[in-house]
Amino acid sequence: MATLEISKDNGLYFVIPEECGTGVKKVAGKVAKDVEGTLSFCPEICETAVPAKQAVIAVTAGSGKLAETLCSKISKLGQVEGKRESYAFIVAENPVEGIESALVIYGSDKLGTIYGLFHLSELLGVTAMVDWGDCQYVKQDSFILKEEDSFVSKEPSVKYRGFFINDEWPCCGNWATSHFGSFNAKMYDHIFEYLLRMKGNYLWPAMWAENFMLDGPDLESMKLADEPDPELNSKLKATLYQKEAAMRKQPATRGFSLWYLPMILNLITFIMLAGVALIVISNTYLSYFVAGICFYIGMAGVLLTIVGVKRTNMKEDITIRVEKRGVLA
């Protein structure tokens, strides 16, 4: 029966093939940190399998030769093929040459592989709030994984699972500013970690005075979000880039032309005079005549203003500029 007894004496290392991508490798580093926090040693992370007593092997379906080899040897891995954000968590003997026992994490996609890695952290007793609530690691001398711990996850019943940053200011804003300088990629690294530990895949970022795609600085936050699953983010990124391009084309200031001020005052004045004529002049025909003249003079002022704006540059000469909030310079 396959068993892994993870301890400082027995050691452990992670196999994360290059084909899995930087997102999976980064999460493997966080899980290795969880192992260090609970078992007092930090597993090494390698890209290829080397002879050892035990290891954690994390791969994604269709990611390369190692994934194909594991799938051919362990039939349960095929159960996640074609599914979304699912993973197989299998304790196996001799899964690849030279490794006696291994925990094989086989994701249907990159997010599935990441969820499988963080499931190991859950079994170690590490809470998803480890980075947020001053939660301490619970120290252990050893941790045993048996074949009974193997299972295949279900496909998520809810497609998009996540949250938006509520109470953005002052609570979150003050925390982000004091710890990271702003709502930047360093801050979002912690938020994404919590989101992925909770098996989420959706985040509505801070938006009061922040710009997720530019506060990384530059596109660092977008690159960070891209690591878990580039395909999932492709439509969102395309929309954001289009919005950014449109914002850059806008002027950084909003213009208010004083040219229209006389027109407005003229129109108001003659409308009031027309009203006075209708009230004061007792002769009905005469009152309508005077009111009509006032109305036409007011409308003539509007027409003359519009023609003047189209035909001359005076509008620009008497325009005041006010900086527009949120427009990219």
**For residue 276, how many C-alpha atoms fall within 13 Å in the half-sphere facing its CB?**
8
> Among 152, 179, 208, which residue terminates a domain?
152
pLDDT in tens, 243-292: 666 766 666 566 566 667 777 888 888 888 888 888 888 888 888 888 88
**Sign of the four-CA dihedral 135, 136, 138, 143:** positive
* Residue 157 pLDDT exceeds 60: yes
Query: What is d(CA 61, CA 71) in angstroms, rounded to the nearest whole number?
Result: 9
| Average pLDDT for 121-150 | 91
- pTM (predicted TM-score): 0.70
Say whether both 43 and 136 belong to one domain.
yes
Is residue 329 domain-resident?
A: no
Say whether both 142 and 172 belong to one domain.
no
pLDDT in tens, 36-81: 999 999 999 999 988 899 999 999 999 889 999 999 999 999 999 9
> Per-residue confidence at 311, pLDDT binned at 50, 70, 90?
low
Is residue 184 domain-resident?
A: yes
- The rounded percent of the chain whose pLDDT value lies above 90 is 50
> Among 152, 175, 194, which residue terminates a domain?
152
Is residue 188 domain-resident?
A: yes
φ, ψ of residue 104 in degrees (nearest 5):
-100, 120
Range of the domain at 64: 3-152
Say whether both 20 and 94 belong to one domain.
yes
